[in-house]
A and B are shown apart, each in its own frame.
Chain A
C-alpha cells in the first residue's frame, strides 16, 4: 500500500501529540533501572542492608507477579532489616494498593515520600502513587 505524504504528516503529528501526553497513572509499571541486587562489597560492609536489598528485589518481583500478600511479607522483612530504604515503603504502598487498602497505602506512600525526597525520579513515582491512592479513595 502506498502511503500518502499527508498520512505521514498526520502520523508524525499524532506521535508527537501522544509523546506529550502524561503517562496513565492508574497502572503501576515496575521501573527497569532499579538495581536491587547488592554487590559483594556492599554485602560485606553491611550484611543487613545487603540482605534487605535482596528482599526488596524479591518483593518487587512478587508485585510484578501480582502476589501482594507474599510481596508484603518480603518487603516487611526488608524494612525490618533496613528501615532507611524508602523503596521498601513505596513497594509496600504498591502492595496495599493492589489489595485495595487505601489507608495503609497512604501511610506507606507518606513514608516513601520522606525517605526518597532526595531522589527526583523516585519522587515522581511517589507523587504518581499518591494520585492513584487518591483515585482509589474516591
Chain B
C-alpha cells in the first residue's frame, strides 16, 4: 500500500504485477534499513508473491452517470485539473432514485432469467441487459442513470451510447403528428394492407390477430395496433412525421419509410426519454442536465449550468397526448401497472421490437419520468414484450420512491375540451349509446354531431325497438 501511493495506476498489481512487486520490494528494503524489519523477515517477505484482492473496476456510486458527467467535464477542464484542483462538482443525481433504479433493474432482470431459462447466459458479458434513466421532465435533471447491468463487466452505457429500435414506444410521435387533422375519435382502418417500399412489398401485422377492423385513433394507440398506426401514418404523410420528430432533437436519422411509424429506426434511449418529457412538461422540451455546477476549493463558482428549455408543441397538444397515453396505462397494453401497485395517474407507452429483441416502457407522472429498456447487446430475442419485461421494472422503481411523485392528476390546459362520446361512432353520445366515454379534444376539434346510430330513430335504436317488440310478443 505504501508503495502504491506514489503512483497508484503505474504500480497497480492489476496493470503490471512485476512492476508492482519491484516497487513493494523497494518499500520492504527501506523498512529493513530503518530497522522496522529484521534481515530474516525481509527475506521471508521478499519471497511472497503479489496477491491482489478481488478486482472491481469501480465502487463508485452511479458509475454510468459519473462516466457521462466526466465526458462533459472533460470539455470544460483538462483531466489533470479535474484530479488535482480540488474542485467540487455538483450534479443532478439523486442517490435515492439511483439506488431504487439499480435495485429495480437487478431484480427485474433476475426475475426474467428465472422465469425463462432460455435467457440465461454463462458468459458475464453476454448476459441479459437492461438500462434505466429517470428524469424530471420539467427541468431535464437526470435523477438516475443505470447504463447496464454490471459496470465492472461492461462500461458501455446503454442509455447514452446504445442505438436501439424503439418499436411501439415511437408511436406517440406519429399520433402527435396527426393531431392537426385527426381527433382521438377519428376512425382508422385496422385491416391488413401491403405497402411497396423501395420496390419491395411490406406487409405490417398486428402483434396478435384482432377482429376490430375499424378502430379509433385513441384505441389504436391504447392497444398499440400496428396496422391502424401505419394507416394513420400514410394518411398524415411520412414527411410530416419526419418533420415533427426532427423537432425533438433525435440525433439518429429518421427516414420517411412506412416502418418509421412502427419505430423501426434506431434511437438513443436518453433522446427518447427527453422526447417524452415534452408530453409531461406542457409541450416544453428540457435539455438533459447532469451537471449543476463546479466550485473551486475557495467556494468560487467556476461553472453553473442553467435550466435550458425549448417550447416545441402547444400545451393543449401535449395534454391530448398525455390523455391518450394515460388510456394506455388505464385500459391498454400497460394496464398491468394497476396490479403492480401503481394506482396514481401515470401516462406511458410500451414498446416491443421484431422478434422481441427490445422491450421498452416509458412512463411519467406530472413530475417524474422513467425509461426502462431490456434486451441483449447482440440482439438475441428476449421472448417477452415491453409490458412483460420492462414495465414491471418501472413499477418496482416507482413504488420505491413515493416521495418523488406527487400523485396528482395531469392538469388540462386551456385549449382542450372534454366531451362524452359514443364508443362506437366517436360522435357526441346520446342516451342509447353503449359505454359512452369521456374524451379530451383540442378546442374546435370536438365532434359536431350527436350519434346518429344510437339516436331515437337511428338504425341501432330501431333494431333494439324491434327486439323489444319480439320479446314482448313472446311474453304474451
* Chain A residues at the B interface, C-beta cutoff of 8 Å: 47-48, 69, 72-73, 76, 79-80, 83-84, 92, 104, 107-108, 110-111, 114, 117
Whether B138 is near chain A, meaning CB under 8 Å from some CB there, is yes
Query: Do residues A76 and B413 form an inter-chain contact, with CB atoms below 8 A?
Result: no
Query: Do residues A80 and B309 form an inter-chain contact, with CB atoms below 8 A?
Result: no
Query: Do residues B403 and A48 form an inter-chain contact, with CB atoms below 8 A?
Result: yes
Distance between B314 CB and nearest chain A CB, rounded to angstroms: 10
With beta carbons under 8 angstroms apart, the residue of A83, A110, A117 that contacts B138 is A83
- Chain B residues with Cβ under 8 A from A72's Cβ? 304, 306
Query: Do residues B413 and A84 form an inter-chain contact, with CB atoms below 8 A?
Result: no
Contacts A110-B311, A117-B414 given; does A79 touch B304 at CB 8 Å? no
Residue of A nearest to B141 (CB): A80
Whether B392 is near chain A, meaning CB under 8 Å from some CB there, is no
With beta carbons under 8 angstroms apart, the residue of A69, A73, A79 that contacts B139 is A79
With beta carbons under 8 angstroms apart, the residue of A47, A111, A117 that contacts B284 is A111
- Chain A residues with Cβ under 8 A from B139's Cβ? 76, 79-80, 83
- Chain B residues with Cβ under 8 A from A110's Cβ? 284, 311
- Chain B residues with Cβ under 8 A from A107's Cβ? 284, 309-311
Given A76-B306, A84-B408, 5 further pairs, Cβ under 8 A: A79-B139, A80-B139, A108-B309, A111-B138, A117-B414
Whether B367 is near chain A, meaning CB under 8 Å from some CB there, is yes
Q: How far is the CA of A111 from the CA of B318 in the complex (A)?
A: 13
Q: How large is the interface on B (under 10, 10 to 19, 20 to 34, 35 or more residues)?
A: 20 to 34
Distance between A52 CB and nearest chain B CB, rounded to angstroms: 11
Contact with A along B245-270 (1 / 0, CB 8 A): 00000000000000000000000000
Q: How far is the CA of A83 from the CA of B139 in the complex (A)?
A: 8
Q: How far is the CA of A128 from the CA of B414 in the complex (A)?
A: 20
Q: How far is the CA of A111 from the CA of B92 in the complex (A)?
A: 21
Residue of A nearest to B293 (CB): A73
Query: Do residues A79 and B414 form an inter-chain contact, with CB atoms below 8 A?
Result: no
Distance between A53 CB and nearest chain B CB, rounded to angstroms: 15
- Chain B residues with Cβ under 8 A from A79's Cβ? 138-139, 307
- Chain A residues with Cβ under 8 A from B309's Cβ? 107-108, 111
Contacts A76-B139, A107-B284 given; does A84 touch B367 at CB 8 Å? yes
Q: How far is the CA of A83 from the CA of B281 in the complex (A)?
A: 9
Whether B315 is near chain A, meaning CB under 8 Å from some CB there, is yes
Contact with A along B327-351 (1 / 0, CB 8 A): 0000000000000000000000000
Query: Do residues B306 and A83 form an inter-chain contact, with CB atoms below 8 A?
Result: no
Distance between B268 CB and nearest chain A CB, rounded to angstroms: 24
Q: How many A-B residue pairs have CB under 8 A?
A: 45
- Mark out the residues of chain B between 371 and 386 whose CB falls within 8 Å of any chain A CB in the assembled complex: none
Query: Do residues B307 and A92 form an inter-chain contact, with CB atoms below 8 A?
Result: yes
Q: Name the residue among B284, B304, B306, B408 with the largest chain A CB count within 10 angstroms.
A: B306
Residue of A nearest to B414 (CB): A117
Distance between B311 CB and nearest chain A CB, rounded to angstroms: 6
Whether B366 is near chain A, meaning CB under 8 Å from some CB there, is yes
Distance between A73 CB and nearest chain B CB, rounded to angstroms: 7
Q: Name the residue among A73, A76, A117 with the largest chain B CB count within 10 angstroms.
A: A76
Query: Do residues A83 and B367 form an inter-chain contact, with CB atoms below 8 A?
Result: yes
Q: How far is the CA of A92 from the CA of B307 in the complex (A)?
A: 10
Contacts A83-B138, A84-B406 given; does A76 touch B367 at CB 8 Å? no
- Chain A residues with Cβ under 8 A from B358's Cβ? none
Query: Do residues A114 and B367 form an inter-chain contact, with CB atoms below 8 A?
Result: no
- Chain A residues with Cβ under 8 A from B413's Cβ? 114, 117
Distance between B135 CB and nearest chain A CB, rounded to angstroms: 11
| A and B contact pairs by CB, cutoff 8 A, 17 listed | A47-B403, A69-B304, A72-B304, A72-B306, A73-B304, A76-B306, A79-B139, A80-B139, A83-B139, A83-B367, A104-B306, A108-B309, A111-B282, A111-B309, A114-B282, A114-B413, A117-B414
Q: Name the residue among A72, A79, A83 with the largest chain B CB count within 10 angstroms.
A: A83
Whether B185 is near chain A, meaning CB under 8 Å from some CB there, is no
- Chain B residues with Cβ under 8 A from A83's Cβ? 136-139, 366-367
Q: How far is the CA of A107 from the CA of B285 in the complex (A)?
A: 11
Residue of A nearest to B413 (CB): A114
Query: Do residues A80 and B306 form an inter-chain contact, with CB atoms below 8 A?
Result: no
Distance between B95 CB and nearest chain A CB, rounded to angstroms: 15
Q: How far is the CA of A111 from the CA of B307 in the complex (A)?
A: 12
Contact with A along B273-312 (1 / 0, CB 8 A): 0000000001010000000010000000000101101110
- Chain B residues with Cβ under 8 A from A92's Cβ? 307
Q: How far is the CA of A99 from the CA of B214 in the complex (A)?
A: 55
Q: How far is the CA of A111 from the CA of B139 in the complex (A)?
A: 11
Q: How far is the CA of A50 from the CA of B403 in the complex (A)?
A: 13
- Chain A residues with Cβ under 8 A from B414's Cβ? 117
Contacts A84-B367, A114-B315 given; does A76 touch B282 at CB 8 Å? no
9 closest residue pairs by CB, A with B: A83-B138, A114-B282, A107-B309, A80-B139, A83-B367, A80-B141, A76-B307, A114-B315, A79-B139
Q: How far is the CA of A108 from the CA of B282 in the complex (A)?
A: 12
Query: Do residues A84 and B307 form an inter-chain contact, with CB atoms below 8 A?
Result: no
Q: How far is the CA of A69 from the CA of B406 in the complex (A)?
A: 29
Distance between A77 CB and nearest chain B CB, rounded to angstroms: 9
Q: How far is the CA of A92 from the CA of B366 in the complex (A)?
A: 20
Contact with A along B126-170 (1 / 0, CB 8 A): 000000000011110100000000000000000000000000000
Q: How far is the CA of A76 from the CA of B138 in the complex (A)?
A: 11
Distance between A67 CB and nearest chain B CB, rounded to angstroms: 12
Q: How far is the CA of A110 from the CA of B318 in the complex (A)?
A: 15
Distance between A118 CB and nearest chain B CB, rounded to angstroms: 9
Query: Do residues B366 and A84 form an inter-chain contact, with CB atoms below 8 A?
Result: yes
Distance between A48 CB and nearest chain B CB, rounded to angstroms: 7
Q: How far is the CA of A92 from the CA of B138 in the complex (A)?
A: 14
